[in-house]
Chain A
């Protein structure tokens, strides 16, 4: 069925740098997706409840505070606890290379770091949807 992909763009944690998240939101919009933008300082619980109510295909999170190893996996785990298994979870921000394997193992399917073209993100989403 031809339907727009729905993406929740969220910023968990306490840093206030949302330029990157807004650029991604805009790029996904231009790629024909419906972007639910929830803004700054979201708790993992809020992100998961919003993802459920909005019935999104993708949860895209951005963190620049260094709390990614704690917050990203927490969102994945909460989604699993709620029985949500058809949502693609991706992350972005300033993430050191050595943290990548652990995050991917925790269920973040891809991490996009500074320098990534928005086209890459769009392509990744289109090719990795779970439903």
Chain B
């Protein structure tokens, strides 16, 4: 039985191996996904994002358990940063989810970003398809701890949960562009700490200024560690899903993301072609040296690279 058939039958090792192959750019895995793509589309994807240490992993663990109580199968992709210097990584999100490890209806996979900057890894898109075909009802993607502009999660998730904590900044932070704009639901975690009400108020005031009247992202105070208000948070996530489905916006959202994914894949392939050629013939090194010596400028160097691909 090949990997694809094993995946369809719910074989965990096949699921794990396919994700590894996608991470390693193995064409065989892509071919399997080409064959099985028609089996995907059943899973609902929830992105969980927020600053480092805001409690994303602990909250993901608690939310996943709520969905398990409802009898749903849950896949979790937990992303942590890869070192730009060594390529190594410490993937430490699982440490908060150990209780889920033995549940046969949960599959958790840790992934390094491997050079991607948007808060996820390049293989995340493929890994979501693998978990979807594997039969998961809900897939949670926990991004790396984000700053202000790592917003790629919105390009893959149906619902984005933004995890905030009290006292990280004033009301100016709440009106900045970027990460604050992508949330469909806000959770204020560690809300037993002072300042939680103020943080909620600042987010609410920012939402008051939005033109979007049809759906207003709810702001829920929770404590992941103490399992407080997790049920209410899950209700809000489900309400967002219902809103998208009732209005047909889910189709729009997914279509927009498919367009982005195709463009991203083409862009990656294009870069790979250029870089293989440039590195293969040592051209890049020559260009860099020329620019260093001021014998060439970086713009002309770029033109030379592009000429290569046209040949």
Would you call A4 an interface residue if the criterion is a C-beta within 8 Å of the partner chain's C-beta atoms?
yes
Q: Which residues of A contact B82 (CB under 8 A)?
A: 34
Contact mask for chain B residues 8-24; partner A; CB cutoff 8 A; 1 contact, 0 none: 00001100110110011
B76-96 contacts to A (CB < 8 Å): 82-83, 86-92, 94-95
Q: How far is the CA of A6 from the CA of B114 in the complex (A)?
A: 13
The answer to whether residues A28 and B88 also contact, given A50-B94, A53-B109 and a CB cut-off of 8 A, is yes
Contact mask for chain B residues 24-42; partner A; CB cutoff 8 A; 1 contact, 0 none: 1010000000000000000
Q: Which residues of B contact A45 (CB under 8 A)?
A: 102
Would you call B107 an interface residue if the criterion is a C-beta within 8 Å of the partner chain's C-beta atoms?
yes
> B26–A1 contact, CB under 8 A?
yes
> A37–B95 contact, CB under 8 A?
yes
> B16–A53 contact, CB under 8 A?
yes
Q: How far is the CA of A3 from the CA of B86 in the complex (A)?
A: 12
The answer to whether residues A31 and B16 also contact, given A38-B94, A54-B110 and a CB cut-off of 8 A, is no
Contact mask for chain A residues 91-104; partner B; CB cutoff 8 A; 1 contact, 0 none: 00000000000000
Contact mask for chain B residues 112-146; partner A; CB cutoff 8 A; 1 contact, 0 none: 10100000000000000000000000000000000
For chain B, what secondary structure do more than half of its interface residues adopt (helix, strand, loop), or is it mixed? mixed
> B24–A3 contact, CB under 8 A?
yes
Interface size, B (range): 20 to 34
> B102–A4 contact, CB under 8 A?
no
Q: How far is the CA of A55 from the CA of B112 in the complex (A)?
A: 13
Q: How far is the CA of A32 from the CA of B115 in the complex (A)?
A: 13
Q: How far is the CA of A25 from the CA of B83 in the complex (A)?
A: 13
> B17–A53 contact, CB under 8 A?
no
> B86–A38 contact, CB under 8 A?
no
Would you call B101 an interface residue if the criterion is a C-beta within 8 Å of the partner chain's C-beta atoms?
yes
Which residue on B lies nearest to A22, using beta carbons? B90
**Residue among A1, A4, A33 facing the most chain B CB atoms (10 A cut-off):** A4
> A31–B101 contact, CB under 8 A?
no
Which residues from chain A sit less than 8 Å from chain B, CB to CB?
A: 1, 3-4, 6, 25-26, 28-39, 42, 45-46, 49-50, 52-55, 82-84
Which residues from chain B sit less than 8 Å from chain A, CB to CB?
A: 12-13, 16-17, 19-20, 23-24, 26, 82-83, 86-92, 94-95, 98, 101-102, 107-110, 112, 114
A-B contact pairs, 23 of them (CB 8 A): A1-B24, A1-B26, A4-B87, A6-B20, A26-B90, A29-B88, A32-B87, A32-B88, A34-B88, A34-B91, A35-B88, A35-B89, A35-B90, A36-B91, A36-B110, A37-B91, A37-B92, A38-B95, A39-B95, A50-B108, A53-B109, A55-B20, A82-B13
Q: A46-B102, A52-B13, A53-B107 are in contact. List 16 more A-B contacts (CB 8 A).
A: A28-B88, A29-B90, A30-B83, A30-B88, A32-B83, A32-B86, A33-B88, A36-B110, A37-B91, A38-B98, A39-B92, A46-B101, A49-B102, A53-B12, A53-B109, A55-B20
